[in-house]
């Protein structure tokens, strides 16, 4: 376990250990160290870009907030809140399924509260809690977020219902609003295309239909996530050594 309490991949343990004299000259180990250095440099640059974007755009929005009429200030506040949430979660959404769902529920509650929209969240107590890798967590989170965004912008709802359940070996994720249902609007926008792409990445499918509340229902179904594969590397022993 590392300092964060998460299991450290055996490859990272290998790279982090002091090499023996025989391993120090290994071309394979040198190449792995070089690849790790590149990954770390890319991640640092990504964080810098996120921080700059937050500072620059956030500052501009705060300035705009004090210049627009009172009738437009709520819209600017909502955009600023959305920006902060997107940047925070783009840095990484990972953990178990229940942890990612808890993050999503917390954000959805805050977003709907500012608009006086009620949230009904239904989730069984015995829902499995597998580990999600970063990509799985991000795709699920962003699909849920985009569905709520579309409901707020286009349906003018007073209530949003979210249902999470298991069906056989699949996870079912439903978001339904009680606003307007417009089938002509669904399918061609960038948001819905992104949601379809993310559903594909989850090896699942997503579709839109009229919901029982009168508005739009977004239905996502994908195989229950499993822990990421170890890519063929042997698991480390309790003392951190790599078996032959």
The pLDDT value recorded for residue 3 is 45
The reply to whether 30 falls in a domain is yes
Tell me, yes or no, whether 103 and 128 share the same domain.
yes
The reply to whether 202 falls in a domain is yes
The enclosing H or E element of 206 equals: strand 205-210
Tell me, yes or no, whether 159 and 38 share the same domain.
no
The reply to whether 240 falls in a domain is no
The model's pTM is 0.61
Pairing relationship of beta strands 131-132 and 170-177 according to DSSP bridges: unpaired
Tell me, yes or no, whether 7 and 124 share the same domain.
no
The reply to whether 101 falls in a domain is yes
Q: What is the pLDDT along the chain (244 residues), one digit of tens a residue?
A: 444 444 444 445 545 555 555 545 577 777 777 777 777 776 676 666 656 665 666 666 667 766 777 777 666 666 666 666 665 555 455 689 999 999 899 889 988 988 899 999 999 999 999 999 888 988 999 999 999 989 998 889 999 999 999 999 999 999 999 998 888 777 667 888 899 999 999 999 999 999 998 899 999 999 997 654 444 444 444 444 444 4
- How many CA atoms lie less than 13 Å away from 142 in the CB half-sphere? 26
Tell me, yes or no, whether 211 and 102 share the same domain.
yes
The pLDDT value recorded for residue 186 is 77
- Please, what sign has the CA dihedral across residues 97, 223, 166, 140? positive
The reply to whether 103 falls in a domain is yes
d(CA 53, CA 75): 20
Tell me, yes or no, whether 211 and 106 share the same domain.
yes
Let me know: does 173 contact 105? Beta carbons within 8 Å.
Answer: no
Tell me, yes or no, whether 162 and 221 share the same domain.
yes
Let me know: does 100 contact 93? Beta carbons within 8 Å.
Answer: yes
d(CA 187, CA 88): 28
Tell me, yes or no, whether 192 and 211 share the same domain.
yes
Per the structure, the count of domains in the chain is 2
Tell me, yes or no, whether 66 and 108 share the same domain.
no
The reply to whether 239 falls in a domain is no
Tell which of 67, 91, 115 closes a domain.
91
Pairing relationship of beta strands 159-167 and 118-122 according to DSSP bridges: parallel
The pLDDT value recorded for residue 238 is 46
Tell which of 48, 71, 91 closes a domain.
91
The reply to whether 6 falls in a domain is yes
The pLDDT value recorded for residue 115 is 86
The reply to whether 44 falls in a domain is yes
Tell me, yes or no, whether 110 and 156 share the same domain.
yes
Tell me, yes or no, whether 1 and 104 share the same domain.
no
Residue 114 lies in domain: 94-229
The enclosing H or E element of 222 equals: strand 216-223
- Please, what sign has the CA dihedral across residues 90, 91, 97, 100? negative
Tell me, yes or no, whether 78 and 157 share the same domain.
no
């Amino acid at each position: 376990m590392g300092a964060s309490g998460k299991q450290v991949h055996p490859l990272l343990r290998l790279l982090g250990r002091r090499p023996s004299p025989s391993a120090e000259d290994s071309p394979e180990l040198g190449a792995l160290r070089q690849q790790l250095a590149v990954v770390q440099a890319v991640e640092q640059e990504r964080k810098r870009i996120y921080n700059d974007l937050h500072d620059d755009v956030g500052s501009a929005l705060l300035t705009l907030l004090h210049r627009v009429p009172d009738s437009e200030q709520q819209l600017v506040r909502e955009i600023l809140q959305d920006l902060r949430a997107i940047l925070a979660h783009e840095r990484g959404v990972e953990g178990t399924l229940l942890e990612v769902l808890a993050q999503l529920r917390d954000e959805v509650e805050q977003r709907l509260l500012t608009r006086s929209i009620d949230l009904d969240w239904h989730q069984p107590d015995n829902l499995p809690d597998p580990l999600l890798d970063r990509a799985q967590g991000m795709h699920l989170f962003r699909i849920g977020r985009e569905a709520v965004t579309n409901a707020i912008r286009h349906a003018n709802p007073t209530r949003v219902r979210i249902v999470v359940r298991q069906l056989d070996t699949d996870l079912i994720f439903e978001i339904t609003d009680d606003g307007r249902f417009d089938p002509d609007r669904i399918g061609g926008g960038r948001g819905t295309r992104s949601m379809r792409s993310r559903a594909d990445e989850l090896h699942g499918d997503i579709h839109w239909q009229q919901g029982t509340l009168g508005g739009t229902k977004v239905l996502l179904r994908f195989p229950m996530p499993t822990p990421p594969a170890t890519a063929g590397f042997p698991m480390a022993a309790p003392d951190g050594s790599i078996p032959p």
